[in-house]
Amino acid sequence: MVSKTLSEIRPGKELWNIKARVTRLWNATLLGSGEQLSLDMILIDQEGTMMHGVINKAYMDKFKPLIEEGNVYTIANVRITPAAQKYRPVVNDRIVNFLPTTTLKTVKDTEDIPKYSFNFMSTDMLSARINVDMYQSDVIGVAAHIGPIEETRTNFGFTKIRDIVLLME
């Protein structure tokens, strides 16, 4: 089966086959209750294209033991859907969704796929994202101040926060 790059795949067809590295893997949980909703990941392909991947709660028991951060896989039989309007972990308008029929095969020769990718931006571009909660942002700077961890009340109960001031020039 021929693998497609992440930039080639589109919503509307199921059973796409891709080759990508799982560069980041995390449990998505419901604020307040802590209930696990999905196993989420950031995939990266040989072109450096990143895409959000999601394993729905119903399929986590099947896939969680098979997938590991840092590994490259051929992933067959996935569905591509439009990304949510808020809280995208990467700048991409699509999501890779695992299905009950999805298969994973570890790839040994992984030199052609980068381990990481970043979308750095200027401070002007970052300033334009204030109060825009669509994308997470990659920033680099010198930590000028790291405050203590404090607990604060939110709509979902109490949460811990820490203020960090970065010098970016």
Q: Which residues lie closer than 8 Å to 4 by C-beta, 6 or more apart?
A: 16, 17, 18
pTM score: 0.78
The answer to whether the CB of 40 falls within 8 A of the CB of 50 is no
Per-residue model confidence as pLDDT tens digits over 137-157: 667 778 899 999 998 887 777
| Beta strand ranges found along 6-60 (DSSP E) | 16-29, 36-44, 50-56
156 membership: H or E segment, kind and range? none
Q: Where are the domains of the chain?
A: 16-106, 123-167
Per-residue model confidence as pLDDT tens digits over 41-73: 999 999 999 999 999 999 999 999 999 999 999
Query: Domain 16-106 sits in which CATH superfamily?
Result: Nucleic acid-binding proteins (2.40.50.140)
CA distances for 38 relative to 25, 63, 99, 162, angstroms: 11, 11, 13, 26
